Amino acid sequence: MSTNLSGQGQDRPELQKAIEELAEAGFVGIQLRVNDEQGEWVGSAGVRELGQNAKPLTNGHFRIGSSTKNFVATSVLLLVAEGRIGLDAPADDYLPEFGLDRRITVRMLLQHTSGIFNHTGELYEDGTIVLGVPWQGKEWVDNRFKTYLPEELVRLSLSKPARFAPGAGWSYANTNYVLARLVVEKVTGRPFVEELQRLILGPLGMTGTVAPGPSPEIPEPHNHGYYRYEDVGQERTVDVTRQNPSWVGAGGDMISTTRDLHTYFSAVMGGKLLPAELLAEMRTPEATVGYGLGVFAQETEGGTVFHHNGATMGSAALMYSTPDGSKTLTAGLTWVDDADLSIAPAFQTAQQRFVDAVFCGKLG
């Protein structure tokens, strides 16, 4: 199924072929939206629910995982623009209750250079794993409606040794964004969901995006995501479309649609939301993995592409754009997840296939 909304009648069989192959590789459902010089193309492959024949929705709601981080970063930068947050001010100035290292700045939170332990667990260079909040296997399934308060997540992180001195390294930690969202709430005196509406969703007319907090609900309509786990020697698969995302918090709890992600990311990259100097700050990558402030910079054969993809139990988002916002790729994927993250290789293949097809002109 593909539709073209630009009136140019463009058929994109290479994109349809790519998503159908990925559905065969193990995804339950895929919805893809491409906006470029050929207009807008929307398609889907796979099924909406396991055991059913209905095709996935092309504008269904889905959990966007870590793509949430870019929304949080943009919100912080918009408050920097309003003079309410200092990008290089100590985070401790805004959140004195945690006793944060005074060297940790707001910028370090957004760039993952704070050194703070990741509350969802850490894998160290020597192979040591230090667990955090449970998010795998039967333990997660049994507790998937449990509510964690952001303050709990922060205190868990701070009870563990820092990975490095503030600013001395790079390490991806969901807790950085839990803290960043708390900064937003502290300086505005309002819930993040209200600031998100004021700063981003309202101005851009986005109606399909939700910051759910501890609510397990997901707006209709939506495709379904699943989780496979072992219980007393038996393999079980459960529908985890409804789940409480407070265990990851601002590190990856939001819900959106491919249309809203396109509207949002093309506006951010196209300079329609942030002042030029703050957009430049967002897009300046650190040297380790090319992470700016809530965004990855990726060099491709077609030039620089900015993105922040995300995945959570049974659901993922892709969100890519050229530097000027004129070409975007947004997608929602659902699958049967498991503790071994078995889908990860196919997810990496999907990202590469789409980038090659859309941004590098490699078809087939």
Active site residue 66: yes
Residue in this structure with the two tokens 């939001």, named with its chain if needed: 254
297-304 long-range contacts (CB < 8 A, ≥24 apart) are: 298/355, 300/355, 300/359, 300/360, 301/360, 301/362, 302/359, 302/360, 302/361, 303/359
Beta-strand relationship, 62-63 and 255-256: antiparallel
CB within 8 A of 306, min separation 6: which ones? 269, 283, 292, 295, 296, 297, 298, 320, 321, 322, 323
Helix axes 174-188, 68-81, angle to 10 degrees: 40
Question: How many CB atoms lie under 10 A from the CB of residue 126?
Answer: 5
- Sign of torsion over alpha carbons 339, 345, 346, 347: positive
CB 255 within 8 Å of CB 210: yes
* Catalytic choice (2, 6, 44, 66): 66
CB 253 within 8 Å of CB 286: no
Instruction: Please name every residue paired with 227 in a beta bridge, in sequence order, or none if there are none.
Output: 238, 337
- Structure token digits, residue 247: 């265990």
Question: How many CB atoms lie under 10 A from the CB of residue 325?
Answer: 18
Active site residues: 66
